[in-house]
Amino acid sequence: MKESTPMGMNKTGMQMSPFDATDMRTGVPSMQPDPGAGDESAIAGMRNSYIAEADPVGSVPVPATVTGAVTAGMSMLAGNAPQLFIDKLGERLAFERTGTRLYDALLAKFDALGDGGTGATRAELERIRADEARHFAMLAHAIETIGGDPTAQTPCADLAGVESMGLMQVLSDPRTTFVQSLHAILVAEMADNAGWEVLVALADENHQASLSTEFTTALSEEQDHLEMVRQWFQRGVIGRTVGSQVAPPPQTH
Amino acid sequence: MPIDLYTTRGCPIDQQRFTWRDMVSRPISKLDDDAFTRVRVILLNGIETDALRFQHAAARRNRDIRLQLAQIRRVEQHQATMVNWLIGADHSPLETTIAYEQVAIEVTADLALKEPDPYLAQAYRFGLLEDFDHLYRYSALLDRLEGKDANNILQSYTDIIPGRPTVDEHRAPEDDLRNPYDRDAALATKLNAMTLTAAEFQTHDYYMNIGPLFADPVARQLYAEIASIEEQHVTQYGSLINPDESWMEQWLLHEAMEVWNYHSAMEAETNHHVKAIWERFLDYELGHFQYVAELFKQVEGRDPAELIPGPLPDAMSFQSHRDFIRQVLAQEVGLRAKGTQFVDKSLESQASLDYRKHINSAGSPSETVASGYQWSPGTELNRKVVVAV
C-alpha cells in the first residue's frame, strides 16, 4: 500500500486566512514601495563584488613528501591537472562516507515505520549501505595509491558536505516518513551517479587503468542503487513504477 | 612584549567607524588556515559578545553612564560582527561546535598553566576535563551523523578521547559555585577569569541557538545536555570573579582583558588578513581603555592605576597542550566538585547525586552518541570497513 499524507489544518496558504488575506492584498497604496525603484539586479551586483574578491574555498593538499609522491605514483598521473583528480577522489570519498551515514538514518526509519509501501527490504538497504562503505574504503586506498592523503578534506569534499546537509536533515528528522526519506536518498544517488561517471573519465585521462576498472564497477553498482531507489520511491508515491531513465544495471551481485 | 595600557593611546572613539562592506569581509578558509586562526576568531567573538553582555547589565544599574556605555557598545557590536563573520559558511554548525570545544580546551589549558592562583588553576583544570569530554562526544556525533572526521577541524592539535564523562558532569547548583579571587589578586588572575567566563558564555549561547536547528533527536538531546553543562561552567567561571568589584572596576578590567586578548591574537596570527583585523581592533580596544579610564577617574575619583598598576600579562599562547592535558586527565579525571571545593568522586554531595540521577533517568544522549566510539583517522568507518574487508 502506498504511503499517504494526512489532510489537516495547514495554515500557510492565504485561503486559510480569508479576511486577513483580503487586507493583505488591498493594503494602503501610499505605503507601498515603488517597484520602479529597482529590482533584484542590485543583489547580483553585491554578489559580483564579493565573487571578484573571494579567496578559493581551499586547496588540494600537497603530498607529505616529494619522495612519497613520486614513489607512490602521483608523478605518473598523466592528466592536465592531477590535483583535480585528487580533489574529485576526495569528493567521492566524502560523499560515500556521508552516504553510509544517510543509509544508517534510513535503516532506522525503516525499522520504525516499515517500507511505506515501497517494497524495499532491510536486506536490500543493508546491501546498499555496505556498498557505500566499501566504495569509501576503496577510494581511500585509491588516494593512497597515487600519493594523496585520504584523511584530508579536499575543496570538493568540503562542498559535497555542504550539499549533503539538507539530505541529512530530512533523513534524520523523526517526523519524516520512509518515502519522504527515500526522496532525499534519491537526490543523493542521482548526484552520486554523476560523480562516478566523472571519476571514471578522470581515471582514464590520468592513465589509471586499474582504478578506472574499479570505478566502472562502482558506477555500475551505483546505477543499480539509483534504479532500486527510484522504483521504491515511485511505488511509495503512486503505487507503481513508471519509466526508467538509466540503463538497466549490470548483474554485479 | 607586554603592552603598557597607559602609554599606548589607541584609536580615539570617534574614529572607530565601520561600513557593512568591511564588517563582512573575506572569511577564513576551513581547509587552509591554521586551526588556531579559527580558535582566535571564536575566542575574540566570545570576548566581544561578553563586552556587550556586561555593558548592557551595567547600563541597567548605572543611570549616569548609560550614554558612554551605549557609545562603546556600538563599536563592540560591530567588532563582534566583523570577527564572527570570519567563519566560513562551509563549516557545518557541528563542525563549528568542534572548533568551539577546541577553543575551550586549548585556551583553558593555557590559562590553567599560566594562572598564578592555585585554586583558580585547579578550577580551570576541572572545567578543562569536562570540555575535553564534550569534544569526544561531538566528534562521535559528527562521524555518525554527517560522516565527517572531527580532525579535519582540529588539525591533529587536540586529542579525541573521553575526559570526565559528560553523564557525570551534571551537578547541583551549589556545587558549581567557586570562591572568588581577592580584590588584590594579580591582574593575570582577573583577566584569566574574565576571559574564560566570556568564552564559556559564548559557547553556551551558541549551543542554545544551533541545538534546535538539528533534525536528529540524538543531536537535539546532545546539544541540550552539553548546553546545560556550559551553563554550569559559566556559573563556575563567573563565580570566580569578585562580586565586590564596582561596576566601573569591572568595566575597566573588561576593557583591559579585551586589549590583552587582541594583543595575544595579533602576536600569534598567521593569516595576514586576519592579523590586520587584530591590529585594528587592538588599537580600538586601547582607545576604549583610555576612554573608560578617564570615566573611572570621574566616577570613582580614583586613579585607574590603583586597579591596574602595571603592564598587561604576557600574551597567551595558542598552541597544542597535548602533554599537559594528558597529564591532567591521568591525575584529575576522578575529581568532582562539592560546594566550592574539588574532591574525590567518592565524596560527592548527595544533592549532586540526586540531581544527576533524575536528569539522566530517561537516558543519556552523551552516552548514546558515543557508545563504543573510538576515533580513527578518516572516521571510524575507515577502521571498521578496513577490518571488514
Q: Identify which of B268, B267, B112 has the alpha carbon closest to the alpha carbon of residue B188.
A: B112
Distance CA B161, CA B159 (A): 6
Check if A169 contacts B (Cβ < 8 Å). yes
User: Which of B265, B291, B317 marks a domain boundary?
Assistant: B317
Residues in a beta bridge with B335: B344
| pLDDT tens readout for residues B82-104 | 999 999 999 999 999 999 999 99
Q: What's the total number of domains in chain B?
A: 2
Q: Which residues of B touch A (CB under 8 A)?
A: 26, 29-32, 88-90, 92, 144-149, 151-152, 214-217, 219, 377-379, 381-382, 384-386, 388-389
Interface contacts (A, B; CB < 8 Å) = 98
Q: Which domain holds residue A108?
A: 81-238
Asked if B152's CB is within 8 angstroms of A140's CB, the reply is: no
Distance CA B62, CA A123 (A): 68
Residue A14 CA: distances (Å) to CA of A20, A22, A27, B54: 8, 9, 15, 44
Q: Is residue B26 packed enough to be buried (19+ CB in 10 Å), middle (13-18) or exposed (0-12)?
A: middle
C-alpha cell at B15: 574614529
pLDDT confidence band for A2 (50 / 70 / 90): low
Distance CA A104, CA A98 (A): 10
Which residues of chain A does B89 touch, with a Cβ-Cβ cutoff of 8 Å? Answer: 162
Q: B226 with B364, same domain? A: yes
User: Which of B317, B350, B381 marks a domain boundary?
Assistant: B317
Q: B15 with B145, same domain? A: no
Q: B212 with B127, same domain? A: yes
Check if A150 contacts B (Cβ < 8 Å). yes
CA A153 to chain centre: 16
Residue A225, domain member (yes or no): yes
Q: B333 with B297, same domain? A: no
Tell me what pLDDT residue A67 has. Answer: 46
Give me the amino acid identity at B232: Q
Please check whether residue A223 is in contact with residue A246, taking contact to mean a CB–CB distance below 8 angstroms: yes
Locate the chain A residue with the closest alpha carbon to B34: A58
Q: Which domain holds residue B300?
A: 1-90+245-317
Closest residue to B31, CB basis, from A100, A137, A155: A155
Which residues of chain A does B145 touch, with a Cβ-Cβ cutoff of 8 Å? Answer: 101, 168, 172
What is the mean pLDDT of the segment spanning A206-210? 93
Residue A58, domain member (yes or no): no
Q: B134 with B231, same domain? A: yes
Q: What is the mean pLDDT of chain A?
A: 90
Please check whether residue B260 is in contact with residue B286, taking contact to mean a CB–CB distance below 8 angstroms: no
Q: B122 with B185, same domain? A: yes
User: Which of B317, B338, B367 marks a domain boundary?
Assistant: B317
Asked if A100's CB is within 8 angstroms of B215's CB, the reply is: no
Residue A75, domain member (yes or no): no
Tell me what pLDDT residue A72 has. Answer: 47
Q: B311 with B376, same domain? A: no
pLDDT confidence band for A30 (50 / 70 / 90): confident
Q: B40 with B146, same domain? A: no
Tell me what pLDDT residue A26 has. Answer: 85
| pLDDT tens readout for residues B198-249 | 999 999 999 999 999 999 999 999 999 999 999 999 999 999 999 999 999 9
Tell me what pLDDT residue A69 has. Answer: 52
Which residues of chain B does A59 touch, with a Cβ-Cβ cutoff of 8 Å? Answer: 31-32
**Whole-number CA gyration radius for chain A:** 24
Residue A129, domain member (yes or no): yes
Please check whether residue A83 is in contact with residue A169, taking contact to mean a CB–CB distance below 8 angstroms: no
Residue A4, domain member (yes or no): no
- Nearest CA of chain B to the CA of A52: how many Å? 11
Locate the chain B residue with the closest alpha carbon to A140: B382
Which residues of chain B does A168 touch, with a Cβ-Cβ cutoff of 8 Å? Answer: 145-146, 215-216
Which residues of chain A does B378 touch, with a Cβ-Cβ cutoff of 8 Å? Answer: 140, 150-151
Residue A204, domain member (yes or no): yes
Asked if B378's CB is within 8 angstroms of A150's CB, the reply is: yes
- Nearest CA of chain B to the CA of A157: how many Å? 10
Ordered mean pLDDT values, 10 residues apiece, chain B (389 residues)? 85 97 97 98 98 98 98 98 98 98 98 98 98 98 98 98 98 98 97 98 98 98 98 98 98 98 98 98 98 97 94 96 98 98 98 98 98 97 72
Q: Print burial letters for A126-136: b (CB count within 10 Å at least 16), e (below 16).
A: ebbbebbbbbb
Distance CA B194, CA B80 (A): 17
Q: Is the model's pLDDT at A253 over the cut of 70?
A: no
Rounded to two decimals, the pTM is 0.95
Residue A1, domain member (yes or no): no
Q: Is residue B289 packed enough to be buried (19+ CB in 10 Å), middle (13-18) or exposed (0-12)?
A: buried
Asked if A140's CB is within 8 angstroms of B26's CB, the reply is: no
* Domain containing residue A160: CATH number: 1.20.1260.10
Tell me what pLDDT residue A25 has. Answer: 86
Close Cβ partners of B203 (under 8 Å, ≥ 6 residues apart): B46, B100, B101, B103, B104, B230, B233
Q: Is the model's pLDDT at A66 over the cut of 70?
A: no
Q: What's the total number of domains in chain A?
A: 1
Tell me what pLDDT residue A76 has. Answer: 55
Q: B192 with B331, same domain? A: yes
Locate the chain A residue with the closest alpha carbon to B273: A55
Tell me what pLDDT residue B2 has. Answer: 74
Q: B101 with B86, same domain? A: no
Tell me what pLDDT residue A244 has. Answer: 57
Check if A63 contacts B (Cβ < 8 Å). no
Residue A72, domain member (yes or no): no
Q: B222 with B335, same domain? A: yes
Q: B240 with B252, same domain? A: no
Indicate the SS3 state at residue B34.
Answer: coil
Tell me what pLDDT residue A64 has. Answer: 66
Q: Does an H or E element contain B353, and which?
A: helix B350-359
Locate the chain B residue with the closest alpha carbon to A130: B385
